[in-house]
Amino acid sequence: MTFTMGPALLFCPADRPERYAKAADRADAVILDLEDAVAPDAKAAAREAVADSGLDPDRTIVRINPAGSDAFEDDLRAVAAGGFHTVMLAKASGTADLVRLRDLRVVALCETPAGVLAAPAMASVECVVALMWGAEDLVGSLGGSSSRTPDGGYRDVARFARASVLVAAGAHDIAAIDAVHLDIADADGQRDEATDAAASGFAATACIHPSQVPVVREAYRPSDEELSAARELLAAASGRDGVFTHDGRMIDAPVLRQAERVLARAARR
């Protein structure tokens, strides 16, 4: 199963149904959040709103509460009632968490130490179409107080989790989704992270505010210079076998695959 949503995925609190349509219109896909965004006493009403939303299942992800939690089964009933087929499992910690989800398309959210270490195993499960990582829950569960250094960059433990989830997803040929950028006003920081995510191989970046969507889309869209260089390289490779030199660079199959990825990113939007 291929994950085709993206590159900009927008979270929307599931207890704010008046925002659903706008979020779906602004982004490439909307993530209706039944977990952290909704207070316990508002979850029942939020599930009803999800079930009655009428949103396009092909452009909607429902973030459900962790497996084993009191809310998990009720969340699944709301997903089924709404006709949705893609869920994001919060705090996914291992393959046992996925048993009840085998008939759905699952984004496993690796945001605990156990989840990060289990990312390769979860990526191998047939129903899992993507992995996502999360910095804040991860650092909090480790007893830390901040995922970022004073200059705004991620601390090493967050960078380790990000890289681990990306590599685990790539090893099993599924998508990887980059974490949210919490500082909504920091468009430059968002752009830098999304640009790095696209260049590193992430398929999408999650957003928490509509203003972040165009920034992420721009970051994932190759520049005219990148497109031109990729096209020229692939044209130069036509009819050639093996390694060759182009513009002073050694070119082999991995470099050609990177050029093909640039063209594929441009074709997405």
Binding residues for Mg(2+): 111, 137
Q: Is 115:141 a contact under the CB 8 Å cutoff? A: no
Q: Is 212:222 a contact under the CB 8 Å cutoff? A: no
**How crowded is residue 100: how many other Cβ atoms within 10 Å of its Cβ?**
14
**Tokens linked to 116:** 């990060």
Q: Which residues are annotated as a binding site for substrate?
A: 63, 111
Length of the chain: 269
**C-alpha Rg value of the chain to the nearest Å:** 19
- Tokens 């093909």, residue? 260
Q: Is 179:131 a contact under the CB 8 Å cutoff? A: no
Q: Which residues are annotated as a binding site?
A: 63, 111, 137
Q: Is 90:65 a contact under the CB 8 Å cutoff? A: yes
DSSP of 157-177: HHHHHHHHHHHHHHHTT-EEE
d(CA 256, CA 83): 40
Name 130's bridge partners: 107, 175
